[in-house]
Amino acid sequence: MVSRSLPSRVPSLPACVVCWPMPQSLLSRSLSALPRSVRVEHIRDLDDVRAILSCEREACMLAPLPDDGRSLVVDDLVQVRQLYPRVPILVIASAGESAYQAAWRLGRFAATELITAAPDLPDRIVAALRRAHEQITLAQVWVQVRVALPISLEMIFRSALRQAYSPVAATTLAESLRMSDRGLRKYCARHSIPNPQTIVGWARLLIAGFYLDDKGRSLKSVAELLGFSSPDALRKLILRYTDLSVSDLRRRGAFLTVADLFFASLVRSSDVCTRRSEIHSQDFLVD
C-alpha cells in the first residue's frame, strides 16, 4: 500500500482518494487536477481497503470499470459496497464503453457515479469528487441527528439536508416531498414541528457547524461551500438561530451546540427529548 500524504486539504473535496489498480496513463490523467492537499492511497486488495477505512472518515474510491463480471476487482468492489455502504465509489469507463454495458457491470456493486474517460477527464474527476464529498458529509450529519428526530420530522429533515448546499425555499422543500407548500405547512403545524423554512435553516446550519468544527476552514470557505451569498449571510443565520457569534460557536463545539439548540427548539414545540449523549457517542466513521 503506497501513500501520498501532505498537510491541509481543500474544503470541497474528500480528505482521501482510494485508488484501485488501473493503467498508469489513466491513473495519471485521473489525478492530474487534484490539489496536492488531497491524500491519495494506492491499494492492491480488500485488505488494504479495510486498513484505510478503519480510520478514515472521508474516503472516496476511484476504480476503472472492470472488463468483465469475472474480474477480481468486481468481486472486491461488491464486498466493499456490502461492508461500507456509504463510501462513494467513482468508476472510470473507457471512451468506447457503451452506456448499456457500463450499467450492467456497475449494477453489481452499486457505483456512485460513472465517469467517461473523455479528454476533460481530470475536470470530471474533480467535479465528481466534490459531489462525493457532499454525499459523505450529509451521511455523517444524518447519522448524528436521526437518533433524536421525531418520526414526523425524519423525511422532511432528510430532504432538507439533501438540498442544504444551496439556498432552498420552503416551496422547493415541499415539492421534493411531493406536497404543496400549504400542505407541508399544515403538516408541520399539526405535528408541532418547526415550519418548513425554519427546518431548512436548521439543516443548513447543522452542516455549517460540521464544517466550522474544522479549524482549518474559514467562515468564507464554509459560506461558499453552502451557497451563501457572503460570509456575512452565514454569520447572520448563525446569530439568528443560536444567538452566538461564530467564534463563540466554534469555541463551544459548533456541531454539537447547533444540534443541542435544534433539539431544544423541538422540545419547545412538542415532547421530543434532546439526547446529546447519544449524538456525541455516534461513530463518525463511514462504515
Residue of 174 and 91 predicted with greater confidence: 174
Q: pTM of the prediction?
A: 0.72
> Among the listed ranges 3-7, 17-21, 68-72, 111-115, which one has the minimum average pLDDT value?
3-7
CB neighbours (10 Å) of residue 281? Answer: 9
Q: What is the pLDDT of residue 9?
A: 35
- Give Rg (Cα) of the chain: 21
All structural domains of the chain, each given as residue ranges with its CATH number in brackets, are 2-134 (3.40.50.2300), 150-271 (1.10.10.60)
Q: Name the more confident of 37 and 164.
A: 164
Evaluate if residue 247 carries a pLDDT over 90. Answer: yes
Q: Which pLDDT band, with edges at 50, 70 and 90, does 283 fall under? A: very low
pLDDT computed for residue 219 by the predictor: 94
What pLDDT shows up at residue 73? 67
pLDDT of residue 237: 96
User: Which residues touch 240 (CB under 8 Å, ≥6 apart)?
Assistant: 201
**In this model, does residue 282 exceed pLDDT 80?**
no
Q: Mean pLDDT over residues 259-270, rounded? A: 80
Task: State the alpha helices, DSSP H only, in the chain.
Answer: 24-31, 46-53, 72-83, 99-106, 121-145, 151-162, 170-176, 181-190, 196-212, 219-225, 231-242, 246-252, 254-269, 276-281
- Res 130: pLDDT: 87
- Assess whether pLDDT exceeds 50 at residue 287: no
Task: Check: CB of residue 11 under 8 Å from CB of residue 211.
Answer: yes
What pLDDT is stored for residue 103 in this prediction?
62
**Which range among 64-73, 154-163, 243-252 shows the weakest confidence by mean pLDDT?**
64-73
Residue 258, all three cell numbers: 447547533
Question: 158 near 152, Cβ under 8 Å?
Answer: no
Which of 109-123, 210-224, 242-256, 270-284 shows the highest mean pLDDT? Answer: 242-256
Per-residue confidence (pLDDT) for residue 107, from 0 to 100: 65
Mean pLDDT score across all residues of the chain? 82
**Least-confidence region, from 88-102, 172-186, 235-249:** 88-102
Return the exposure string of 198-227: e unless at least 16 CB atoms fall within 10 Å of the residue's CB, then b: bbbbbbbbbbbbbbbbeeebebebbbbbbe
> Is pLDDT of 284 > 70?
no
Mean pLDDT of 17-22: 90
Report whether pLDDT(251) > 80: yes
Provide the pLDDT for residue 186.
94
For 125-155, the pLDDT digits (tens) are 998 888 888 888 888 899 889 888 999 999 9
Given this model, what pLDDT does residue 119 score? 87
Please write the tens of the pLDDT for every residue from 66-116: 665 445 566 787 788 888 888 888 888 876 666 556 665 666 667 778 888
